[in-house]
Structure 1
Amino acid sequence: MDVQRTVSRAEWLAARRQHLQREREFLRLRDELSAERRSLPRVRVDKAYRFEGPDGIETLDDLFAGRSQLIIYHFMFGPGWKEGCVGCSFLADHIDGARIHIEHRDITLVVVARAPLPQIEAFKERMGWRFKWVSSFRSDFNYDYHVSFTRDAMIMGTVYYNYEMREFASEDLPGVSVFHKDPWGTVFHTYSAYGRDAELLCGAYNYIDLTPLGRQEEEGHWQAWVRHHDRYGS
């Protein structure tokens, strides 16, 4: 942790103004990056994916819920797991408050996991979430978007994740994928991000990053402090 110096108000103001220029540069670069992301090419989705949710069996097209844009969060929660991933739960805690706002920008957000629906529903009830969460248990969806891995890949010890081959860590990993439906009903895959590349969706980090102590995360121990929100205690 960096030790903060104690200075006069005038010295603090000079340092703050200097840092403000860096913050404005970061905002400008982030806007440029977002524009570049929006201009990425797209891939037509031709496969007929099916999901099981609270409304029964639904297709990928159904998940758009009448909107033209769809964000899917790939929740790390496999068949037989006792509970969902702690880090994914941290991110999911931010979804319900945001939904009404993003839905008014023609965007639907749905969570998908490979766990069977009863397993999902039980964990969702425990956590008190209201967002839509569907199961891809009988679908290739998680495998095709590289967040779940076949038995053969796991035996080999390396899997394709975050656009590269890497050492096998878990049969399911987190990510986010974005889709767009054109006026003729054709669905396209436009973007996917994995691991820390989806960190901007964790709004609590933005608050923590404002403080002098910051995240207090050791290198290689990302989110080691995070707990399910019902496990922090008093």
Structure 2
Amino acid sequence: MNTHTTGTREQWLAARLDLLQAEKELTRRSDELALRRQALPWVRIDKEYRFETDAGNVSLADLFQGRSQLLVYHFMFGADYKAGCPSCSAIADGFNPIAVHLAHHDVTLAAVSSAPFAKLADYKRRMGWTFPWASSAGGDFNGDFNISFTDRQQREGGIEYNYRREAPAKSQDGNAVQEWELRGEEGPVAQLAAMTGTDVATYTRDRPGISTFTLADGVVHHTYSAYARGLDGLWNMYQWLDRAPLGRNEQGIWWRRHDEYAQA
């Protein structure tokens, strides 16, 4: 039964015009924040990071593919995962259509994960994706950008994610359980972990994020990173749901990998 407020066209228009002013304020504020992101000081990267890709073993500078800007999505796919994180997969479903436009605007969009490249390549074929996806396995890249951690860091409280230090993981039945939730207070992490074929501790040793870089005269600089709810705008489906009559209307994890809905 519908319990939502109803009204006349005139009442709707008055409310809509009031909302429009708030939306315009949000747009202006978003524009201001974009300028502040671009004004952040750049940090030179002298460390020699290496990645496995379709083109073989390459450097961070090679990931730019001849362009001056690089957007890296830190895709949650740990070495022990059986499949990529379903949340990251939902975000990555939007990469293919925009990557070609970004490439023609001097920007390369790529994903980086800590799993071996063979695992990433298999999953990429399954999902039908074509955007660049590199493995940082065996290197320091994921750790240095605070999106991959060790079990020791979990146990001892050595995890710094989203610019804050987390408390040590609690122990449950002898297994470390990290008190971390993917989207603020929402979402049973155990369900997401099971969807990757892991337990909570293993699943949360990798985290989602985005890092951006610039390349000029052979020198790479780190320009920006964001994590957790800072990635909300990258979920294309949520931008649409926020404009749908019932909004996000969520009760737990409702999404699946795009090839799993028929099985649900």
TM-score normalised per structure 2: 0.83
Asked if 1 retains the 8 angstrom alpha-carbon contact of 2:157 and 2:165, the reply is: no
Structure 1 segments (4+ residues) deviating >2 Å: none
**Which residue does 1:126 correspond to in 2?**
126
**Which residue does 1:12 correspond to in 2?**
12
One-letter amino acid of the counterpart of residue 15, structure 1: A
Distance 1:91 1:160 in 2: 23
1:136-215 correspondence runs (5 A): 136-167=136-167, 168=178, 169=180, 170-182=204-216, 184-215=217-248
Asked if 1 retains the 8 angstrom alpha-carbon contact of 2:113 and 2:134, the reply is: yes
Distance 1:27 1:231 in 2: 36
Distance 1:140 1:54 in 2: 20
Distance 2:5 2:13 in 1: 13
Describe the SS at the equivalent of 2:138.
coil
Spell out, residue by residue over 1:96-129, the C-alpha distance to the aligned partner (whole angstroms, 9 max, x if none): 0001111121100111000001111111111111
Distance 2:239 2:125 in 1: 27
CA pair 193-3 structure 1, distance change in 2 beyond 3 A: farther
One-letter amino acid of the counterpart of residue 211, structure 2: S
| Structure 2 residue ranges without an equivalent (≥5) | 168-177, 181-203
Distance 2:260 2:143 in 1: 31
| Percent identical | 46
Describe the SS at the equivalent of 1:200.
helix
**Which residue does 1:226 correspond to in 2?**
255
Report the CA distance between 1:159 and its aligned residue.
0.9
Distance 1:22 1:206 in 2: 17
Report the CA distance between 1:86 and its aligned residue.
0.8
**Which residue does 1:73 correspond to in 2?**
73
Distance 1:3 1:62 in 2: 56
One-letter amino acid of the counterpart of residue 214, structure 1: G
RMSD over equivalenced CA pairs, Å: 1.5
Distance 1:150 1:61 in 2: 27
Distance 1:126 1:157 in 2: 36
**Which residue does 1:36 correspond to in 2?**
36
Report the CA distance between 1:3 and its aligned residue.
4.9
Moved more, 163-172 or 126-135: 163-172
Report the CA distance between 1:13 and its aligned residue.
0.7
**Which residue does 1:64 correspond to in 2?**
64
Describe the SS at the equivalent of 1:171.
coil
Describe the SS at the equivalent of 1:230.
coil
One-letter amino acid of the counterpart of residue 206, structure 1: Q
One-letter amino acid of the counterpart of residue 7, structure 1: G
**What is the number of equivalent residue pairs in this alignment?**
228
Spell out, residue by residue over 1:12-65, the C-alpha distance to the aligned partner (whole angstroms, 9 max, x if none): 111111111111111000000101110011110010000001110010000001
Distance 2:79 2:93 in 1: 22
Describe the SS at the equivalent of 2:12.
helix
Distance 1:91 1:190 in 2: 22
